[in-house]
């Protein structure tokens, strides 16, 4: 049975000097380039979530890897886009619609750093480069702690916000912190998203619940052999 890695990235940049916590969220542009080279070298195509849906639904088969980036940082446009275009790959960037053009207000205090988020114009430049925008709620909350009204606001509202400013359908969703329960997943499905990703470890196979898709985290300290193990073997499923 085919199993597809859905890679999870955050920042594509050198980790700032003096940053003590969560340096793992940063993958350097050079490391990303080596990882994408490796995928191509092994005959894989990197795809956005929407481009990958026929494979995840079992309608097509092939060597694909799905590339996702959480939160919508400006460095994704600056440094990830050129690398992805070099290899002819596509990717999905999940955006927090209430923080467009601002910064990571949900964890800036904890991390000790304000990281700039893409503006509407920058999101359009990402799309014009062949990439996809997905939704990541309005305010990056822990969704399992939200009331039914808050869930609708965060999940359906984020979709509406992004469709309004970008003028294109938003069909992909990502749960902040990977936090979800049955109620959250059902709200996401009924909001009209085609699929949603979690932070649960593993590779996605045919028959995996499309609104609870596992991902493969790529961190700053992962060397190329570690990336390869996560991409091409059952390592992540065994560690799940």
- For residue 191, the 8-state DSSP code is T
pTM for this model (two decimals)? 0.97
- Using one digit for the tens of pLDDT, what is the confidence trace for 19-30? 777 888 999 999
The series of mean pLDDT values per 10 residues for the chain, 240 residues long, is 92 88 91 98 98 97 97 98 98 98 95 95 98 98 98 98 98 98 98 98 95 96 94 89
Question: So what's the pLDDT on residue 212?
Answer: 98
pLDDT tens, position by position, 200-222: 999 999 999 999 999 999 999 99
Q: Return the exposure string of 152-170: e unless at least 16 CB atoms fall within 10 Å of the residue's CB, then b.
A: ebbbbbbbebbbebbeeeb
88: exposed, middle or buried (Cβ count in 10 Å: 0-12, 13-18, 19+):
exposed
Q: What is the CATH number of the domain that holds 131?
A: 3.20.20.370
Report how many domains make up the chain: 1
Quickly tell me which residue has 């996401």 as its tokens: 188
Domain that holds residue 170: 3-239
Q: Are 74 and 117 in contact (CB under 8 A)?
A: yes
């Amino acid at each position: 049975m085919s199993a597809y890695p859905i890679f999870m990235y955050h920042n594509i940049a050198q980790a700032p000097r003096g940053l003590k916590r969560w340096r793992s969220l940063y993958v350097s542009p050079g490391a990303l380039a080596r990882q994408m080279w490796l995928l191509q070298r092994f005959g894989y195509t990197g795809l956005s979530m929407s481009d990958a849906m026929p494979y995840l639904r079992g309608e097509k088969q092939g060597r694909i890897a799905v590339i996702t980036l959480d939160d919508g940082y400006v460095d994704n446009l600056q440094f990830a886009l050129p690398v992805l275009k070099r290899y002819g790959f596509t990717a999905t960037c999940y955006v927090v619609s209430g923080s467009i053009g601002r910064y990571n207000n949900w964890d800036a205090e904890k991390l000790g750093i304000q990281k700039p988020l893409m503006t509407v114009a920058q999101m359009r430049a990402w799309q014009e480069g062949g990439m996809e925008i997905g939704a990541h709620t309005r305010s990056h909350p822990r969704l399992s702690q939200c009331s039914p009204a808050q869930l609708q606001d965060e999940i359906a509202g984020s979709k509406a916000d992004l469709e309004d400013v970008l003028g294109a359908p938003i069909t992909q969703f990502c749960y902040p912190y990977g936090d979800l329960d049955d109620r959250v997943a059902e709200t996401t499905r009924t909001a009209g998203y085609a699929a949603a990703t979690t932070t649960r470890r593993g590779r996605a196979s045919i028959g995996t619940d499309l609104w609870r898709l596992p991902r493969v985290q790529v961190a700053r300290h992962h060397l190329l052999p570690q990336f390869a193990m996560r991409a091409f073997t059952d390592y992540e499923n065994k560690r799940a």
